[in-house]
Amino acid sequence: MSISNGVQLITYADRLGDGSIESLNSLLNGPLAGLFKGVHLLPFYYPYDGEDAGFDPIDHTSVDKRLGDWSHVKKMGESVDIMADLIVNHMSAQSRQFRDVLEKGRESAYWPLFLTKQDVFTDTDETKTNEQIANVFRPRPTPFFSDYEVAGSETVPFWTTFTSNQIDIDVESDLGKEYLSSILTSFTESNVDLIRLDAAGYAIKRAGSNCFMLEETFAFIEELSKRARSMDMQCLVEIHSHYQTQIDIAERCDSVYDFALPPLVLHTLFTQDASALAHWLSISPRNCFTVLDTHDGIGIVDVGASGDKPGLLDNASIDALVEQIHVNSKEESRKATGAAANNVDLYQVNCTYYDALGKDDLNYLLARAIQFFSPGIPQVYYGGLLAADNDMELLAKTNVGRDINRPYLSTADVEAAIEKPVVKGLIELIKIRNDSNAFNGDFSVSYNDKLLALNWAHHSDTACLEIDFNTMSAVIDITDAGKSTTITISELLG
């Protein structure tokens, strides 16, 4: 199948519009009509408001009735490409299957579906086992294993890579394969075009390894992608890791995220030095999706070193980048990041991208222009689309760090926000990215004397973004069907 090469929206069904998939679709056909070629609809399964905001589904094949049903997803898919999350690694401890395991223990028909500590670490030497566990890559500060009493008589340590309510499944078991297939079937019957493989890097575990992006993991992703393609869907792999890992993964799957771009764009605008960004864009995967902001925080690990492999930025530059975000956000991001709030990810800074740039409208449009002219299909998070501020009230209410960038925005909020100059400017940039045929062609990048040029060419159609970091000014030149247009970024602000 073919995915539209245009800007996509990332959003929750309950946090944009009036609280349903149908309401969101009305927005896409009303105030936001024609803007987006696709929508990444963040978890809408039952329940969408669990411990991890929908990423801990009790029933992954069921739409939460408070949001609608599969027919509403299918209807939205008639006008835009739909991306949905396939939560590969785990399911809720409240699920019917795991509750059956708790009740019946090893006699449960679902026992093989879930991973226990002993399934992976079979050595009876406890010292050796502890050494192997110490080598496992850890994405969160919570324990690897959570003890559950099963059948009223046995305490079993189950794998819980993320939280104690997210029980890891054995994706290599027959039951695991059947479970994932049932989700794929629900997707393909409801006009889902793209599958975001959430937490796929952790799905395969082997004793003696770091249990992250193993060779067996690559094979698992390839096989799952093959099954999806046979059902007329494509897969996007979500992995936060060293940039070389992203390049390697990209060679073996449909698409990856360019997670290095968000921190590199911030670093570039903070320092007026685009050398690291230009280097990355010269080697970055072309089969990628680009983001600046998402439902998670601003990732840092993607530009850092890994062991003896240097990063795209050195440690001092990364430290300065993080500190500047805190300064620009008037310390609000510090209150939402790390130990300051209930954070499950240690390698991200929680802040809106708009606040990370100090609410500077010109810099914000420069950041979006860089994103749209970088290789890949651009996605814009709903809060970023509307240049939303840090939601300190929601953060105070929930003490969940990522909620600082997960606001509830009604239809009325949307209608008010699209009148802001910065949002009007962003909408114009979206139209430029969607309408120019040049973006179907070849990309090149150059950087000399603080002048960055991102160029696209498809036959006689061309598109160029040129930013002069000496003056912090930028010009877009477009030639389509023989017609040339020149626009400065500052003009987009009115």
198 is catalytic: yes
248 labeled binding residue: no
197 labeled binding residue: yes
Query: Any idea which residue has 């850092």 for tokens?
Result: 304
In sequence order, the 6+-apart residues with CB closer than 8 A to the CB of 303 are 243, 260, 263, 264, 267, 276, 311, 312, 313, 318
238 is catalytic: yes
90 labeled binding residue: yes
Q: Looking at residue 274, what is its pLDDT?
A: 98
How far is 334 from 401, CA to CA, in rounded Å? Answer: 9
Phi, psi of 465 (to 5 degrees): -110, 125
Same domain as 292, residue 163:
no
Same domain as 422, residue 373:
yes
On the 0-12 / 13-18 / 19+ scale of CB atoms within 10 A, 340 is middle
52 labeled binding residue: yes
CATH number for the domain that contains residue 262:
3.20.20.80
406 labeled binding residue: no
Q: Looking at residue 239, what is its pLDDT?
A: 87
Catalytic residue among 56, 168, 238, 391: 238
Same domain as 467, residue 427:
no
The two structure tokens encoding residue 417? 């926000």
Catalytic residue among 14, 51, 56, 198: 198
Same domain as 109, residue 29:
no
Residue 118 belongs to domain spanning? 96-167
How far is 102 from 106, CA to CA, in rounded Å? Answer: 9
382 labeled binding residue: no
Domain membership flag for residue 1: no
Domain membership flag for residue 2: no
Domain membership flag for residue 399: yes
60 labeled binding residue: no
How far is 330 from 356, CA to CA, in rounded Å? Answer: 9
Query: Any idea which residue has 């740039």 for tokens?
Result: 357
Same domain as 266, residue 146:
no
How far is 246 from 239, CA to CA, in rounded Å? Answer: 7
254 labeled binding residue: no
Q: CB–CB of 398/51 below 8 Å?
A: no
Same domain as 428, residue 312:
yes
The two structure tokens encoding residue 259? 């997670």
461 labeled binding residue: no
Phi, psi of 453 (to 5 degrees): -125, 125
Domain membership flag for residue 104: yes
Of the residues 106, 141, 167, which one is the last residue of a structural domain?
A: 167
Same domain as 213, residue 180:
yes
Q: Looking at residue 124, what is its pLDDT?
A: 84
Same domain as 37, residue 163:
no
The two structure tokens encoding residue 429? 């940039």
Domain membership flag for residue 3: no
The 3-state secondary structure of the chain, one letter per residue:
CCCCCCCEEEECCCCECCCCHHHHHHHHCCCCCCCCCEEEECCCEECCCCCCCCCCCCEEEEECCCCCCHHHHHHHCCCCEEEEEEECCEEECCCHHHHHHHHHHHHCCCHHHECEHHHHCCCCCHHHHHHHHHCCCCCCCCCCEEEEEECCCEEEEEECCCCCCEEEECCCCHHHHHHHHHHHHHHHCCCCCEEEEECHHHCCCCCCCCCCCCHHHHHHHHHHHHHHHHCCCEEEECCCCCHHHHHHHHCCCCEEEECCHHHHHHHHHHHCCCHHHHHHHHHCCCCEEECCCCCCCEECHHHCCECCECCCCCHHHHHHHHHHHHHHCCCHHHHHCHHHCCCCCCCEECCCHHHHCCCCHHHHHHHHHHHHHCCCEEEEEHHHHCCCCCCHHHHHHHCCHHHHHCCCECHHHHHHHCCCHHHHHHHHHHHHHHHCHHHHCEEEEEEECCEEEEEEEECCEEEEEEEECCCCEEEEEEEECCEEEEEECHHHHC
The two structure tokens encoding residue 156? 């079993």
Same domain as 270, residue 253:
yes
The two structure tokens encoding residue 289? 């999706």
Q: Looking at residue 358, what is its pLDDT?
A: 98
Same domain as 82, residue 100:
no
347 labeled binding residue: yes
Same domain as 144, residue 34:
no
- The 10 Å Cβ neighbour count of residue 118 is 10
* Residues forming beta bridges with residue 323, ordered by sequence position: none
138 labeled binding residue: no
Distances (CA, A) of 313 to 135, 204, 273, 320: 25, 30, 12, 11
How many distinct structural domains can be found in the chain?
A: 3
In sequence order, the 6+-apart residues with CB closer than 8 A to the CB of 185 are 61, 231
Q: Looking at residue 343, what is its pLDDT?
A: 58
Nearest to 62 by CA among 80, 44, 74: 44
In sequence order, the 6+-apart residues with CB closer than 8 A to the CB of 483 are none
How far is 260 from 267, CA to CA, in rounded Å? Answer: 11
Q: Looking at residue 347, what is its pLDDT?
A: 74
Domain membership flag for residue 435: yes
Of the residues 439, 469, 484, which one is the last residue of a structural domain?
A: 439
Same domain as 392, residue 481:
no
pLDDT by residue, tens only, the chain of 494 residues: 679 999 999 999 999 999 999 999 999 999 999 999 999 999 999 999 988 889 999 999 999 999 999 999 999 999 999 999 999 999 999 999 999 999 999 999 999 999 999 999 998 888 999 999 999 988 777 788 999 999 999 999 999 999 999 999 999 999 999 999 999 999 999 999 999 999 899 999 999 999 999 999 999 999 999 999 999 999 999 988 899 989 998 998 899 999 999 999 999 999 999 999 999 999 999 999 999 999 999 999 899 998 899 999 999 999 999 999 999 999 999 999 887 766 555 579 999 999 999 999 999 999 999 999 999 999 999 999 999 999 999 999 999 999 999 999 999 999 999 999 999 999 999 999 999 999 999 999 999 999 999 999 999 999 999 999 999 999 999 999 889 999 999 999 98
Of the residues 421, 439, 457, which one is the last residue of a structural domain?
A: 439
